[in-house]
Chains A and B, each alone.
Chain A
């Protein structure tokens, strides 16, 4: 079930009033757990069993870790749980990739096998909930948190429908506190939450699907040979599309959670206003970058073991980040490219050039922000391309190595709408850069707030038909 469907509208129209009138917090939690299972099962009921297995096993493993008499036993339970989680993820997400890679490798040695179709369906949201369960187990093992004795509470942490299929990736430390104390549903929270829900749907339906997707789909079509302008426009369009798509989903999730009295962490904070790739990753998919920092980069040793080891750790972490996104080499390349850009940025900052602090002037910051967006867009080609070959063709075109029969980019209505959307999108992010969270929204003059809400509602109503699946649902 997606937030932008009529199914969800009906679902929430039933769940929300029941939640409000429920007598006790326990009843509310029971309701949310059942509703979350319905929400997930509406996609494919069979995979509820997989989610249930992961949930029950990790909850039990958490208790075992806590109860273990010695460190070796604690470690055994932790390893067992993490291996089980990664095995599930590995089978459903990566088995086909490894099979194809092995077949291609054998072919390189002249051993010819037929392509293998394992017919594995990727369970919705598996990358997100597996990461949440790993963080829970590791945090219990590291004694950062105490495991919950309530299977219902742990189940709700795992399945809470606003964040279940595409994050934000929650930590039990944050969520556990919220399910330990009764949530209060206030009119203000409902009004603000609904406002964020509409803003999220606006980003997704109007921004991603109607403004940016048409240019992306044109430039990244399998038979389109991009020229210099087309390749850049396609890359810019997809950068904005994936932002509107994912930030829209995350914002809607935040809004829905807030209506229910819960707080989810912000997942995007004006990433395209960032100066440098390092800053961008503190503003883009924040819950994932925090997770990677805490459960991959820091355990690898951070920069504590020397500069070069630190660079290697960054590269490993971001290559893993790419692999988390998708089981294909172009995703790996995307992650590795981000790792390389982060290392490059750090090397510049540590060099004599860095001592000049050129980015401290406003003029330089504006230009560096645009450069950061361009670099992000260059890398995102690997994310969006159908395969490495297509990505390489687009990247070559971006550096003016253009095929003779490349298509000229046509400035038709779709391109003009995209160009306006791009400028507006970047300006809005620049304007919102220093605002954290959404607590400032109630302080905006109510007439301005009303006008913006009315505009978003009208635009959503007048944007039927093109709705595509949320991009991050495939991960």
Chain B
């Protein structure tokens, strides 16, 4: 290779890198000027990274927060830790809730893991105990058990550092996602009203989104769901739940505890839950036979927090909700 060609290689790389930096900066500036912002994005790797912590020995006491979006957008692990510290308990709250998926597969994973000896907080309603909902998180649990590697862990740690600073690191802002939005819908990416954090908790800021639209969507959704869903009779539901009781016993035997928590909901969700799966025949009946602590938001005024979209509390209420729940755990002798 000639000296002249060598010089050209230097120019090639320098110019290409400058071009890349300029284009990325322009991309960031464009989307930020339109009201979008960078955020940590949830993933199986991030879940697995948190899940691995649940298997670590105490102290601190490992508190696994299982559930779906109501837990993920309802609790702040850092507030949980601080509130517990105020009452003299050193805990490590671990957010393992997964948006849109009932959590029993994750509870099963903890029950089968001899190293887990902490507290499992399971955000769930009667529907979540139904067998059809039992494996919703199995895919993610299976990923953790078979595919999560030290290499993936480091990759995810680095990505978590990067994502809060770059819109370009958001999968929903990849060139292909943006192209899909414009070609199929003639629209840019939807403006998210959920902000994610590195600890996997999220916050729904309804002042950013269309609360009334979301509320109506959820009400329509729950009506559609119950129109197509026949809940199992209470006897069969309870019989099916015996498998879950076995998991609870396994955790209890190792010195751990399990808390089933029905999170705050309102309006049609609350009405339909009670109409189709009345509390007395389902959750309360299970509470009588299961060796777990049951907490229902209806029994604790401090937990009965407004849910603007009927199903999730607003970001501003997360610290209040978390602190109230820690106090309830203290009252019930869990912490």
Contact = CB atoms under 8 A, between A and B. Distances in A.
Interface of A: 1-2, 5-8, 10, 41-45, 121, 187-188, 191-192, 194-195, 210-211, 214, 412-414, 416-417, 442-443, 446, 449-450, 453-454, 457-459, 461-466, 469
Contacts of A195: 12
B175 A462 contact: yes
17 contacts: A44-B149, A188-B5, A188-B6, A412-B180, A413-B179, A414-B180, A446-B8, A450-B15, A453-B16, A454-B20, A454-B23, A457-B19, A458-B20, A459-B175, A461-B168, A465-B170, A465-B172
A41 B155 CA distance: 15
Contact of A210 (B159, B172, B175): B175
Taking each of A194, A214, A449, which has the highest tally of chain B beta carbons within 10 Å of its own beta carbon?
A: A449
Interface of B: 1, 5-6, 8-13, 15-17, 19-20, 23-24, 27, 41, 146-147, 149-152, 154-155, 158-159, 162, 168-177, 179-180, 182-184
Given A10-B154, A462-B175, 12 more contacts: A5-B152, A6-B159, A187-B6, A210-B176, A211-B176, A413-B180, A446-B11, A449-B12, A457-B20, A464-B171, A465-B174, A465-B177
Contacts, number: 125
A307 to B, nearest CB: 48
Instruction: Label chain A's interface by main secondary structure.
Output: helix
A327 to B, nearest CB: 17
A416 B23 CA distance: 24
B216 to A, nearest CB: 27
Nearest to B162: A6
Given A188-B9, A457-B16, A465-B174, A413 B183 contact: yes
Contacts of A42: 149-151, 154
Nearest to B161: A6
Contacts of A210: 174-176
Given A417-B179, A458-B19, A7 B171 contact: no
B170 A464 contact: yes
A93 to B, nearest CB: 16
A465 B173 CA distance: 9
Contacts of B9: 187-188, 191-192, 442, 446
A1 B1 contact: no
The 4 closest A-B pairs by CB, nearest first: A465-B171, A413-B183, A454-B19, A42-B151
A5 B20 CA distance: 19
Given A7-B155, A187-B9, A446-B11, A457 B17 contact: yes
A214 B172 CA distance: 14
B19 A464 contact: no
B13 A453 contact: yes
A417 B169 CA distance: 21
B154 A6 contact: yes
B176 A417 contact: yes
Contacts of B13: 191, 194, 453
Nearest to A45: B150
Nearest to B179: A413
A5 B176 contact: no
Contacts of A44: 149
Contacts of A10: 154, 158
Contacts of B15: 450, 454
A458 B1 contact: no
A8 B154 CA distance: 9
Contacts of A7: 151-152, 154-155, 158
Contacts of A192: 9
A464 B158 contact: no
A5 B179 contact: no
B315 to A, nearest CB: 24
A443 B12 CA distance: 12
Taking each of A44, A416, A450, which has the highest tally of chain B beta carbons within 10 Å of its own beta carbon?
A: A450
Contacts of B158: 6-7, 10
A454 B149 CA distance: 32
B149 A464 contact: no
Given A42-B150, A416-B183, A465-B171, A446 B12 contact: yes
Given A10-B158, A458-B24, A43 B149 contact: yes
A3 to B, nearest CB: 11
A210 B147 CA distance: 22
A214 B183 CA distance: 15
A43 B171 CA distance: 24
A442 B11 CA distance: 12
A442 B174 contact: no
B162 to A, nearest CB: 8
Contacts of B169: 464
Contact of B168 (A194, A412, A462): A462
A466 B171 contact: yes
A469 B147 CA distance: 10
A192 B12 CA distance: 10
B146 A463 contact: no
B171 A450 contact: no
Taking each of B1, B16, B183, which has the highest tally of chain A beta carbons within 10 Å of its own beta carbon?
A: B16
Contacts of A466: 171, 174, 176
Contacts of A463: 174-176
Contacts of A464: 168-171, 173-174
A245 to B, nearest CB: 16
Contacts of A2: 151
A437 to B, nearest CB: 14
A412 B170 CA distance: 22
A462 B174 contact: yes
Contact of B155 (A6, A442, A465): A6
Contacts of B41: 465
Contacts of B24: 458, 461-462
A414 B177 CA distance: 9
B317 to A, nearest CB: 31
Nearest to B181: A413
Given A462-B27, A466-B174, A1 B16 contact: no
B106 to A, nearest CB: 21
A341 to B, nearest CB: 34
Contacts of B159: 6
A13 to B, nearest CB: 11
A424 to B, nearest CB: 15
A44 B27 CA distance: 38
B1 A188 contact: yes
Contact of A412 (B10, B19, B152, B184): B184
